[in-house]
Structure 1
Amino acid sequence: YLTLALLLVQTVHGHAARVYILAATAVLVVLIGVSRLYLHVHWPSDVVGGWVFGTIWALGWWALGRKLGADTRAQRP
């Protein structure tokens, strides 16, 4: 969800919309992790590790999206 949100934020205009998308996604991701703990289907270290890996993954795609977007804007006449 975070990966999709970070890519979507790059296409949305307006600060309020971007903040809303990121805040809603953060709440969703936290609730999913907490539900995994509540249901006793993962250890806390698994959830934290998933959050860390997922954040790094999402930021990597976000950076790639920014780079490709900057390259596209630079090529426009």
Structure 2
Amino acid sequence: MADTGVASVIGSVGSGSALSVGLAPSTAMAMTYVAMADSIGLAMENAAANQQRGQVIANAALVQVLAMIITKGA
């Protein structure tokens, strides 16, 4: 009876390590996809912030030009 218990434990340990080895590539790709999604999200966030800053600068430039036109007269 003791031999079957030891064999059972060894078998379960062996199948557990085989399972983790079998899942390693898919886990690595999943981590890669998560990192890539995070990077793309940050890039999109930066693009939106840059676009907003550009719009603010364009509005400020327009205000300055209009102020110059008003002060100089048409």
Structure-1-length-normalised TM-score: 0.42
Structure-2-length-normalised TM-score: 0.44
